[in-house]
Amino acid sequence: MGEEIFYTAVARAAESYQKLAALSRRFGSWREAYEGLPREERGDIGAAEAEIKESGARVIMADDPEYPALLRQIPDPPFGIFVLGTLPKSEHTVAVVGTRRATAEGIRAAQEMGGGLARAGMVVVSGLALGIDAAAHAGCLAEKGETVAVLAGGVGRIYPRENEWLAREIIETGGAIVSEYPPMAESFPSRFLERNRITSGLAEAVVIVEAPQRSGALSTASHAAEQNRDVFVVPGPVRSMQYAGSFALIRDGARLVRSVEDVLEDMGITKEEQRGVEEKFNPEQTKIMKALRERGEAADVDKIAELTKLDPQTVASEMAELVLEGAVEESGGQYAAA
């Protein structure tokens, strides 16, 4: 029986990183920890095995080559992580986080950030929460990018339930759902704060989008600073309380960014390292380009209008500009992405 099973059994009973850390210092292995604890404190080994099997999760211990290298570098890395899906192999990762109670402007900014990072070949990390987190994941997926969601509970008990569909899509498109807690662990309030160090730990940099004064995203930013990660902030209206925490971070030294290009430039990611960050299209042009790529073949204005839900006059006008910019090729009234 492997160490991961004994670790899972002990983790089911310990309930916090601090308790696991104390046990790690006390015992030489997780098997010794399991066998050394009183029966009522060590969890059930059979239940641990069943939990892993039924959830479909893989347990990746800290000494496993598959354990994320960036995560191993933080001051208090998880002793093991539970994973559904596939951990992306890209060396470039950025976390995008913010408030659950996001405005429409914040949602749009998070989607654009997630999508732009995906187009550049970056892995997007976030927390699957409602609001900014979900928008960042969705923006990344819309561009067929890879994204990782870090949970404050077990991967077999997706929280929030409203985002179960998003978790499924992340896994189906080559991303991963990750947690340091056993698969059926509940999402206690304290675990969200513990989780935040993993969100930042999996990334080279953290982008904060719309954070009020008491936003959990500020905890992620604090962990990022302690982990020597870059912290970027997307600004909003100066007088809006929705951005009070964001401006506090900027005042304390976080860097203000207005676009994906700003993030990549400040990270030192060269054009050669990117998968190809596209020119900044307006919202209508973005819809048109997405529709043409997904279709995979040329289409006329009426078909593009049908696919994008834009009126034909708008499509024709935007298409003319896209052709001039070289983003779209036209032949006999048919348009295709260049």
CATH assignment of the domain containing 331: 1.10.10.10
* Residue 137 in domain: yes
The pLDDT score that the predictor gives to residue 279 is: 47
How far apart, in Å, are the Cα atoms of 333 and each of 200, 309, 323, 328, 330? 48, 19, 12, 12, 6
Q: Are residues 245 and 294 in the same domain?
A: no
Q: Are residues 45 and 106 in the same domain?
A: no
The pLDDT score that the predictor gives to residue 91 is: 76
Dist CA 91 CA 303 (whole Å): 39
* Residue 226 in domain: yes
Q: Are residues 218 and 111 in the same domain?
A: yes
Dist CA 305 CA 288 (whole Å): 8
DSSP, collapsed to helix, strand or coil, labels residue 207 as strand
How far apart, in Å, are the Cα atoms of 264 and each of 232, 304, 305? 11, 32, 33
* Residue 72 in domain: no
* Residue 258 in domain: yes
The pLDDT score that the predictor gives to residue 278 is: 47
**Do strands 93-98 and 58-61 pair parallel, antiparallel, or not at all (unpaired)?**
unpaired
Q: Which helix (H) or strand (E) holds 187?
A: none
Sign of torsion over alpha carbons 301, 305, 306, 308: positive
Dist CA 156 CA 184 (whole Å): 5
Q: Which helix (H) or strand (E) holds 314?
A: helix 312-325
Q: Are residues 303 and 266 in the same domain?
A: no
* Residue 296 in domain: yes
The pLDDT score that the predictor gives to residue 22 is: 94
Q: Are residues 114 and 236 in the same domain?
A: yes
Q: Are residues 120 and 206 in the same domain?
A: yes
Per-position DSSP letters for 234-245, written without gaps between them: E---TT-GGGHH
Contacts of 111 (CB under 8 A, 6+ apart): 135, 136, 138, 139, 142
Q: Locate the DSSP E strands across the chain.
A: 58-61, 80-85, 93-98, 123-126, 147-150, 176-179, 205-209, 230-234, 255-256, 328-331, 334-337
- pLDDT, averaged per 10 consecutive residues of the chain (338 residues), comes to 90 88 93 90 88 96 95 96 93 94 96 95 97 97 95 96 97 96 93 95 98 93 97 94 96 95 90 59 83 87 92 90 83 88
Q: Are residues 100 and 166 in the same domain?
A: yes
Q: Are residues 38 and 118 in the same domain?
A: no
Q: How many domains does the chain have?
A: 3
Q: Are residues 301 and 189 in the same domain?
A: no
Output the pTM of the full model. 0.80
Q: Are residues 121 and 266 in the same domain?
A: yes
* Residue 74 in domain: no
Q: What is the token pair recorded at 4?
A: 């991961």
Q: Are residues 245 and 295 in the same domain?
A: no
Dist CA 319 CA 42 (whole Å): 64
How far apart, in Å, are the Cα atoms of 287 and each of 119, 220, 265, 284? 15, 32, 26, 5
Dist CA 300 CA 309 (whole Å): 14
Sign of torsion over alpha carbons 235, 239, 241, 244: positive
Dist CA 74 CA 70 (whole Å): 7
* Residue 69 in domain: no
CA 49, 53, 58: angle at the middle one, nearest 5? 95
Domain that holds residue 16: 1-50
Q: Are residues 136 and 262 in the same domain?
A: yes
Dist CA 52 CA 176 (whole Å): 16
Q: Which is nearest to 235 in space by CA: 94, 98, 143?
A: 98
